[in-house]
Structure 1
Amino acid sequence: MGRPLKVAAAQVGAVHRTTSRAEVLERLVKLLQDASTQDVKLLVFPETTFTTFFPRYYITDDEELASYYEYETAETGPVTQTKNVKAFFQRAKELGIDVQIGYGEDTGNGRYNTAVYVSGKTGDVLNKYRKVHLPGSTEPFDLNPNTTNQLEKKYFLPGNYGFQAFRASSLKETCGGSSPIVGQLICNDRRWAEGWRCYGLQGVEILCCGYNTTAYAPQLWGGDQNISREKAYEEAMFHHKLVVQAHAYTNSMFCITAARAGNDDDRHPLIPGSMIVDPEGHIVAENKTEEDELVIATIDLDDCKQGKERTFNLGKHRRPEMYGRLAEEGGVKPPPEV
């Protein structure tokens, strides 16, 4: 193997609205420690990992809502230093594991659905990504506690960092003296081709994606309100794998997806689907449970070469002069009737 790297997705099982921060942190640290015993060098965690997926709830108590974010300003320093989660990042550094992890970010001027990539060598934040494609609505579908709402547009601003790739310099020695090129997406972003292509144009070799994806939310999806739970689960898993495998292939990159899975509050089921996908679109490792679990594989970044240099040689085969509509139109604009 030319540029080997042992990577893993850290799937996290149910986290209820009443689950304490301390309990969640203990579980996350255990996943770190288990990964260390298996010599994992990069560990990808889900979206909003430190808490339950709070955008499903209509929250009117400002104090409760604030408790789901990490307060991160110039004065407080990066998220790695905030009191609620500092111990997690300290342990990752002690173990020498690079981590990507998602959380609710409160800057004092705005709130974002955010993920950071942190060096296991230095403990520094190498990159921060804010979710671009926020799903759902600003108001709840209804106030029934059994309804899974999707209120990200209410609780977060759209990400404003774009799709900026970076070098994971902490992994340079592990990968034969050449730092991996890494990109980040969060949950719904994986469904949109534009972000993947932006990363493909920067030569990304590893795409990290954490998510919380409901397994049953007919009010959210619209259409058939009578869909069975089994069919809804099947469809959600199919579409998750479809977009990840397809876009990993068309952009010649590995993808590590990490799920928040399980049945939150015993009434809000989430799909698993934590997996590692290779540049040909094949799943090389995937989850076996819906609980806390590591999905591990040793990958070779040289496997990206075939696609990048041949089938999807972007510099050789793309026709950007033909793609103007992609940036010019924000929505569907059908041709006129004849």
Structure 2
Amino acid sequence: MAGTRVACVQMRSGRDPATNRDDAVRLVSEAADAGAVFVQTPEMTSLVERERNRLFENIHRQEDDIALAALRETARAHGITLQIGSLAVRDGDKVANRAFLIDPQGEIAAQYDKIHLFDVDLPNGETWRESRTYQGGERAVLARTAIGRLGLSICYDIRFPYLYRAYAQAGAEIIGAPACFTRQTGEAHWHVLNRARAIETGCFMISAAQGGLHEDGRESYGHSLIIDPWGRILAEGGTEPGVIMAEIDLDDVTLARGRVPSLRHDRDVGMQVL
């Protein structure tokens, strides 16, 4: 499949879901008009909000989410496959950080809830307790798309290599890791983690990101990435909202895995603890 054009939409989502929805629709449409047949938006496309009460005031059940409805229609209108990096949707008394894969007819082809939740105290004084608000997912999701077999993940998931290896061994050719990485951790690890996951799995990595200083005070790293199976960066964003694009060829997956066939060399090792 030579010359398949894919795109990442980089955003700086704020506290108003309607504004964020409009920004996402505009940028996805821009990517589609430029020839992308697959477009990915970042984690928390429709709302970046760290205050729990304000978060709950601005989110809804999946069937009532205005961004999901608008982006489904955008995918249908342009005839593209769209990966909504994630939306915050109500799930009982908690929130699901949920990714949606939308097919060219505007239908929900797959959805995935972020499995690994980010609970941490950072040296700069920032504290994150996603598990206080969010309900973690329980299963990985591998979906067939018009551009190849796609594994779904979100942000902090990228720090858990076993998930990505499981995707690759199940047949993934592309893995999406849309994110809202903090600036501090992003500067240290974002590029290394994305390139490592590509190299380890022999997959393309497509990772749309939030970037810049958000209304709620969070500062995210940006630098959306499209990486080939050899770990080479094909396209990269900065910190400003916009679109990055690259051409991918699934033959590169076969070539990379042929050169380093590590996916076939797992061993059941014992552990000696001294």
Is the shorter-chain TM-score for this pair beyond 0.5, marking a shared fold? yes
CA distance in 2, matches of 1:89, 1:206: 21
Q: Counterpart in 2 of 1:294?
A: 243
Is the Cα–Cα contact under 8 Å of residues 307 and 313 in structure 1 kept in the other structure?
no
Q: 1:119 aligns with which of 96, 99, 103?
A: 103
Shift of 1:97: 1.7
Show the counterpart of 2:14: 16
* 1:206 has 2:170 as partner: no
One-letter code aligned to 2:36: V
CA offsets, 1:157-213, max 9 Å, x none?
1211x2231211xx1xxx5xxxx1100110000111111111111121111111111
Identity of aligned residues (%): 26
Q: CA deviation at 1:126?
A: 1.6
Structure 2 length normalisation: TM-score? Answer: 0.90
What CA RMSD, in Å, does the superposition of the two structures yield over aligned residues?
2.4
Structure 2 SS opposite 1:256: strand
SS at 1:244 equivalent: helix
Q: How does 1:273-292 map to 2 (within 5 A)?
A: 273-287=223-237, 289-292=238-241
Residues 1:85 and 1:251: Cα distance change in structure 2 (over 3 Å): closer
Q: 1 or 2, which has the higher strand percentage? A: 2
TM-score (norm 1): 0.74
State the one-letter code of the partner of 1:21: P
Conserved? CA contact 1:257–1:274, under 8 Å: yes
For 2:254, the equivalent position in structure 1 comes to: 305
> 3-state DSSP class of the match of 1:150?
strand
Superposed displacement of residue 110, structure 1: 4.7
Q: Which amino acid aligns with 1:39?
A: G
Deviation of the 1:107 alpha carbon: 3.1
- Higher gyration radius (CA): 1
Q: Distance in 2 between matches of 1:183 and 1:85?
A: 20
Partner of 1:167: 144
1:134 aligns with 2:93: no
In 2: Cα distance, 1:285 partner to 1:164 partner? 25
Shift of the alpha carbon at 1:308?
2.6
Deviation at 1:147, TM superposition (A): 5.8
- In 1, are the aligned partners of 2:111 and 2:141 still within 8 Å (CA)? no
After TM superposition, give the deviation of residue 284 of structure 1 in Å: 0.9
Matches within 5 A, 1:141-220: 148-160=126-138, 162-168=139-145, 171=146, 180-215=148-183
1:156 is displaced (CA, Å) by 0.7
Structure 1 stretches of 4+ with a deviation exceeding 6 A read none
Q: Map 1:210-249; keep pairs closer than 5 Å.
A: 210-215=178-183, 232=184, 236-249=186-199
Unaligned runs of 5+ in 1: 216-231, 326-333
Question: Counterpart of 2:46 in structure 1: which amino acid?
Answer: F
